[in-house]
Structure 1
Amino acid sequence: LSGTRRAPPGAPSPGRLSRTPHPAEATRAGKPPGKDEFLDVIYWFRQIIAVVSGVIWGILPLRGFLGIAGFCLINAGVLYLYFSNYLQIDAEEYGGTWELTKEGFMTSFALFMVIWIIFYTAIHYDFAPISTVQSKGPFY
């Protein structure tokens, strides 16, 4: 009896942080992931998809509706496959398929647009000098 207390089994050691398990790990362990943790994973997964697709769309000379529609389809499709096939969760526990599909979509869309514009402009924009022809004004 030295007077020191031991942590209960399964508790993190003093000075160590506990790690939130990935939803796939929790599902494989037989317990469903918590709603907040799972929605956080979906949110950040979307941000990663937005950055990667923005870089690819910017390097490839994709423009206009084709680029936007492609991003929306890939973003929604990859996420749907992730939570329905890979994690095999019941979407109704998290508010339904539509709630999971739209979670964090607008922020990922905005991030995608910014990255796409930056990369497209940096790679494909022609930085020609401005014309030195002087305008005589609208009333000349």
Structure 2
Amino acid sequence: MSAKNNNFDRKIRTDLNDFKSIWVRAIKPNSEWNEKDDFLDVIYWSRQVIGIVIGVFMGIFPLKGFIALALFAVINCGIVYFYCTSFQSIDDEAYGGMWEIIKEGFMTSFACFLVTWIIFYTGIHFDNVSQKIMH
């Protein structure tokens, strides 16, 4: 039983070291990515954070409608494009082209954005919205 626990503890430590290594490479410019999936995981999870941050911002400042949706797409894709080409200087052909990188995690990021945007917009500006409906 003790050997089983040691293997489990060793696996957890290895996974944590891999996790730290990936995120250290993510914030270091021009990192070398031996595993394509590691870089795509960084893009995916970073994009979720970007979606939430943009949702909070657009919810606090009452942006709404098509302009807010288009602005989200431009900002989100622009940040990912800049990160890949300028900060990491990756060869996009190794990942199937820039379009494959740009669309990695976009829809889940969009969902995170929508939920956050709706919650913050409604929570902060509910009085304004309800007054417009009443009149």
User: Normalized against structure 1, the TM-score is what?
Assistant: 0.74
What is the CA–CA distance in structure 2 between the aligned matches of 1:120 and 1:26, rounded to whole Å?
A: 35
Query: What percent identity do the matched residue pairs reach?
Result: 50
Higher radius of gyration, 1 or 2: 1
Structure 2 counterpart of 1:88, one-letter code: S
Preserved CA contact (<8 Å) 1:79 1:101 = yes
Deviation at 1:17, TM superposition (A): 1.6
Classify 1:15/1:108 alpha carbon distance in 2 versus 1 (closer, same or farther; 3 Å): closer
Structure 1 counterpart of 2:33, one-letter code: P
- Alpha-carbon RMSD across the aligned residues, in angstroms, is 2.4
Deviation at 1:125, TM superposition (A): 1.2
The gaps in structure 1 that reach 5 residues or longer are 1-13, 132-140
1:53 aligns with 2:54: yes
More helix by share: 2
The gaps in structure 2 that reach 5 residues or longer are 1-9
What is the CA–CA distance in structure 1 between the aligned matches of 2:29 and 2:83, rounded to whole Å?
A: 15
1:107 aligns with 2:103: no
1:83 aligns with 2:84: yes
| Structure 1 outlier segments of 4+, above 6 Å | none
Match of 1:124? 125
Preserved CA contact (<8 Å) 1:27 1:33 = no
Preserved CA contact (<8 Å) 1:51 1:112 = yes
User: Normalized against structure 2, the TM-score is what?
Assistant: 0.76
Deviation at 1:32, TM superposition (A): 2.8
CA shift digits 1:97-136 (9 cap, x unpaired)? 00000000001001100100000000001256x98xxxxx
Match of 1:136? none
